[in-house]
Amino acid sequence: YLYNNRYADQVFKITPSNDEEVRTLREILGHMKVDFWQPNSASLICHNATVDVHVKRNDTVFISNLQKEIEKQTGYRSSRKRRSEAQYDYEVYHSLEEIQSWMFMMNTTHPNLVDVFSVGKSYEGRPLYVLQLGKKRRLQKKAVWIDCGVHAREWIGPAFCQWFVKEAINSYQYDSVMTRLLNQLNFYIMPVFNVDGYRFSWITLQDRFWRKTRSKNHKFHCRGVDANRNWKVKWCEGASSHPCDDTYCGPFPESEPEVKAVAKFLRKHKKRVEAYISIHAYAQMLLYPYSYKYATIPNFNCVESAAHNAVTALYSAYGVKYRYGPASTTLVSSGSSIDWAYRNGIPYAFAFELRDTGYFGFLLPESLIKPTCTETMRAVKAIASGVLK
């Protein structure tokens, strides 16, 4: 895959094998204007761990022609007729507007199982919609929160949230596990957490790899905050304090209206919310607290067992292997949503990193939406079933 192409943005895949190479790579990439896919910054490069970086034209490559890959997976190709078809296609990526219309459509067609509400507004004034999924009951039910699309470029996230709702509704009263889950639990599902960033990642080819929110910074021309470094838990101790960085923690905790709104909702319902699940990409991992320190959580055995069951269920679909463990063992970070959820009394807090391990990276082809969502569905059902027990 290594050759020059002067006309396309490209992706490097590099694995430094010793300390010398790590030092060199940190130095070179630290001075270049590159977009880190994994890890999040030059300082986190370590030996025998793959580094994926997106580089502007005139460089060498992993995905040799990025533009083609981007066009393959978006509405940029005119053959797409998705907007005119009454039948919603869950095996393509959808724009923010399509996803929001779909949420209201689900509420209209399945009022016995689905409600739509807004938890607040984004920086640019867009409503932050959440679906409540579950059989309507007078009594208060335990709940599971699932959010997708915290990072704009991770398009497989919102695709999974929609898939989950579709599968849950279609299998209700046919699948005994799903029937029990919807009868006894409420699922709060937020298909697009970072609405402004997600919409921005659809606008032009150049913006496809946007990660952060779209808030403005008054001192710098750079925009946005990493919505998974902005939570009020060990804030900015393991994140960047520079507004131009992809892991910028923000000017203060919960500075981002999206984070503040979700935190407020979860605080209000924390007695009922038993599990918090955040869907990210990519790495094929299932992570749980802590993110900010190497220490064992008090209910480690229960959480570890739930993670093991989830990963085993996922593997049973297509034999795809996920690693699982505390988030700090892969990357120490502070201000993360799983640490915040756990700290606020939610006993099961998980972050999924979906497919793949770097071949397509954020450009997971639409042909892989179905298998990725099918296997992840098994894992999430396993976690929710554990919550019921």
162-208 per-position pLDDT tens digit: 999 999 999 999 999 999 999 999 999 999 999 999 999 999 888 99
89-120 per-position pLDDT tens digit: 999 999 999 999 999 999 999 999 999 999 99
Number of H helices, E strands in the chain: 10, 11
Q: Is the pLDDT at 240 greater than 90, yes or no?
A: yes
Q: In which band, very low, low, confident or very high, does the pLDDT at 59 lie, cut at 50, 70 and 90?
A: low
Of these residues, 167, 353, 366, 375, which one is catalytic? 353
Position 281 scores a pLDDT of 97
* Domains along the chain with CATH numbers: 10-64 (3.30.70.340), 85-203+248-388 (3.40.630.10)
340-349 per-position pLDDT tens digit: 999 999 999 9
CA distance 64 to 199: 26
Specify the higher pLDDT residue, 27 or 277: 277
115-155 per-position pLDDT tens digit: 999 999 999 999 999 999 999 988 899 999 999 999 999 99
Q: Is the pLDDT at 79 greater than 50, yes or no?
A: no
| Cα–Cα nearest to 303, from 349, 367, 241, 249 | 349
Lowest mean pLDDT among 65-74, 213-222, 232-241, 288-297: 65-74
Q: Is the pLDDT at 42 greater than 50, yes or no?
A: yes
CA geometry: angle 93, 157, 249, nearest 5 deg: 125
**Alpha helices, H only, 319-368:** 337-343
Task: Please confirm, yes or no, whether 353 is among the known catalytic residues.
Answer: yes
Sheet containing strand 142-148, strands side by side: 114-121, 127-133, 185-190, 142-148, 273-281, 348-354, 285-288, 323-326
Strand 114-121 versus strand 51-55 pairing type: unpaired
Of all helices (H) and strands (E), which one includes residue 385?
helix 369-388
CB 387 within 8 A of CB 185: yes
Position 58 scores a pLDDT of 61
Q: In which band, very low, low, confident or very high, does the pLDDT at 83 lie, cut at 50, 70 and 90?
A: very low
359-376 average pLDDT score: 96
Lowest mean pLDDT among 18-22, 84-88, 322-326, 373-377: 84-88
Q: Is the pLDDT at 24 greater than 60, yes or no?
A: yes
Position 53 scores a pLDDT of 87
How high does pLDDT run on average in the chain?
90
244-287 per-position pLDDT tens digit: 999 999 999 999 999 999 999 999 999 999 999 999 999 999 99
Q: In which band, very low, low, confident or very high, does the pLDDT at 220 lie, cut at 50, 70 and 90?
A: confident
